[in-house]
Structure 1
Amino acid sequence: MSGKNVVFDVVGTLVGYEKLYEAIDARLGDRMRALGINSIPMFGYMWIEVAEREYTYLSMSGAYVSYAHVFESIFWRMLWKSGIPEPREFATADDLAAIMEGYMRMEMRPGAKECVQKLRDAGFTVWAFTMGDLKRVGGYFKQAGIEMPAEHLKSCDSSSLGKPDPEAYRPLLNQLSSDGSKPWFAAAHMWDVSAARRTGFRGAYCSVWEREALTDLFGEMDVLADTLPEMADKVIAASK
């Protein structure tokens, strides 16, 4: 195994949420705007973030549930929190199924393929560690034409232990540092990359999803970048 390894978070980092937002808009946008809910991306962001919290809390309390299950189940609560008094009258199971299909079709961000290729050309072995299920997340790589060997794609589902629990990162950290090298963890979620860094990875953060790094909360990073290709360049330079 190469002594140069970089582990990516996938959804939110390499994969963007635009197709999900488009699916929400196509099924519910007009109905939501009629009720004064004018920002579909804001609704989508709230749904994603609250689902991540509930997923994490379930994992922390010893009741692990896959992220996709949490995300789908919490849909009706998110409608209610948005100001819709009767969510199950407002939207149907078919609406949710169509939106979840958009979730399955999400695409790699601009620059994601270039980022991965830059690292591989520089001699890095690229890994992925996700809260998502392996079939869905593997499909994102496949449809983008990015080769990702199955043995390099890891999911929290396998251990029933969700990020950002330090123990979720530790098995892969131990595997990749067995030769004495220090692997990288790269993400566009500061909570994710900072937790990986505290566990023992080197940390690379890209602001493409959150914009504000908030290092006053999460601590300093080894690499900060605004785009995925720039992050790859900085990881390569910092590894020389």
Structure 2
Amino acid sequence: MASENKHVVFDIVGTCVSYDAFFEAIEARLGDRLRAQNIGPARLFGYAWMETGEKEYTYMSLTNKYVPFFDIFRSIFYRVLGQAGIANPRSFATDDDREFLLASYRTLRPRPGLLECFEKLRSAGYTVWALTSGDTTRVAGYLEAAGAKFPEENFFSCDSIGIGKPAPSAYQFILDKFPKENLDLWFAAAHIWDAAAARQCGFKGAWASVWEGEPSPDIYGEMEVTADSLTELADNIISYTGKK
């Protein structure tokens, strides 16, 4: 018999919304300057900036000194330019450039099929939740702009927990919200490390290839569900549960 206690917790940034607007802004603002220094493509600098930000956000959380992601993201801009090969980062770019790019990060757009994904799950009896490492105002704004606003009681940020993913206590915080009887509980992400970490805490893992492309099962293991799109992810979650 299908469970009546069905929930899917989604990562948001990178999973439900894409980074395209951010990469486009880097190309528009710094692309020619980067190429003049034989650095490119601009997307690679954006990736390095984001990944360095996520690394240092996680490291700070591990030291029990939690710092919101966006504060770290802003702080490391010139350092990442230096690591990209810019000899004098503060002559190459300005604070106005940095703030323009940070503003673009606040305008990330929904991935194709996002609304259909949520609707499919809700129609199948699932409650949809969000657990994000981003700040509540910014990330909730992405969803609201896409027409996918979450009830406040279904939306959680690591900022309010005071510890970042993938620390087990971040997932346990939301896991404790659910009654344990007949629980069918999923964590859906486009970051395989995120879904894999949630699985270790008792979630089933659902991974979409829309960001990383490669799941690296040799490191992270096999997820219960994988898909190439958000709509397929919803279909596969529903199908998986129906077979049990």
Paired AA for residue 49 in structure 2: W
Paired AA for residue 158 in structure 2: C
- 1:23 counterpart residue number: 25
- 1:238 counterpart residue number: 240
Question: Given that residues 176 and 182 in structure 1 are in contact (C-alpha distance below 8 angstroms), is that contact kept between their aligned partners in structure 2?
Answer: no
Equivalent in 192, 198, 206 of residue 190 of structure 1: 192
Q: Deviations over 1:106-163 (max 9, x none)?
A: 1111122211111111111100000000000010011111131111110000111000
Aligned Cα root-mean-square deviation (Å): 1.0
- 1:158 counterpart residue number: 160
Q: CA deviation at 1:180?
A: 4.1
Alpha-carbon distance between aligned partners in 2 of 1:193 and 1:145, rounded to the nearest angstrom: 25
Q: CA deviation at 1:27?
A: 1.3
Q: Deviations over 1:89-122 (max 9, x none)?
A: 1111111111111000011111222111111111
The normalised TM-score by structure 2 is 0.95
Moved over 3 A (4+): 177-180
Alpha-carbon distance between aligned partners in 2 of 1:203 and 1:42, rounded to the nearest angstrom: 28
Unaligned runs of 5+ in 2: none
Alpha-carbon distance between aligned partners in 1 of 2:179 and 2:38, rounded to the nearest angstrom: 52
Alpha-carbon distance between aligned partners in 1 of 2:14 and 2:133, rounded to the nearest angstrom: 11
- 1:204 counterpart residue number: 206
Equivalent in 96, 100, 116 of residue 98 of structure 1: 100
- 1:13 counterpart residue number: 15
- 1:215 counterpart residue number: 217
Paired AA for residue 36 in structure 1: N
What pairs with 1:1-240 in structure 2 (closer than 5 Å)?
Answer: 3-240=5-242
Give the 3-state SS of the residue equivalent to 1:205 in structure 2: strand
Question: Given that residues 177 and 183 in structure 1 are in contact (C-alpha distance below 8 angstroms), is that contact kept between their aligned partners in structure 2?
Answer: no
Q: CA deviation at 1:178?
A: 3.3
Equivalent pairs counted in the alignment come to: 239
Unaligned runs of 5+ in 1: none
Give the 3-state SS of the residue equivalent to 1:182 in structure 2: strand
Give the 3-state SS of the residue equivalent to 1:62 in structure 2: coil
Residues 1:210 and 1:177: Cα distance change in structure 2 (over 3 Å): farther
Alpha-carbon distance between aligned partners in 2 of 1:228 and 1:221, rounded to the nearest angstrom: 15
Give the 3-state SS of the residue equivalent to 1:175 in structure 2: coil
Alpha-carbon distance between aligned partners in 2 of 1:59 and 1:69, rounded to the nearest angstrom: 13
The normalised TM-score by structure 1 is 0.97
Q: Deviations over 1:47-66 (max 9, x none)?
A: 11111110000000111100
Question: Given that residues 208 and 233 in structure 2 are in contact (C-alpha distance below 8 angstroms), is that contact kept between their aligned partners in structure 1?
Answer: yes
Alpha-carbon distance between aligned partners in 1 of 2:74 and 2:232, rounded to the nearest angstrom: 34
Q: CA deviation at 1:167?
A: 0.8
Question: Given that residues 15 and 140 in structure 1 are in contact (C-alpha distance below 8 angstroms), is that contact kept between their aligned partners in structure 2?
Answer: yes
Paired AA for residue 62 in structure 2: M
Alpha-carbon distance between aligned partners in 1 of 2:80 and 2:20, rounded to the nearest angstrom: 18
Alpha-carbon distance between aligned partners in 1 of 2:98 and 2:159, rounded to the nearest angstrom: 23
Alpha-carbon distance between aligned partners in 1 of 2:171 and 2:162, rounded to the nearest angstrom: 12
Sequence identity (%)? 50
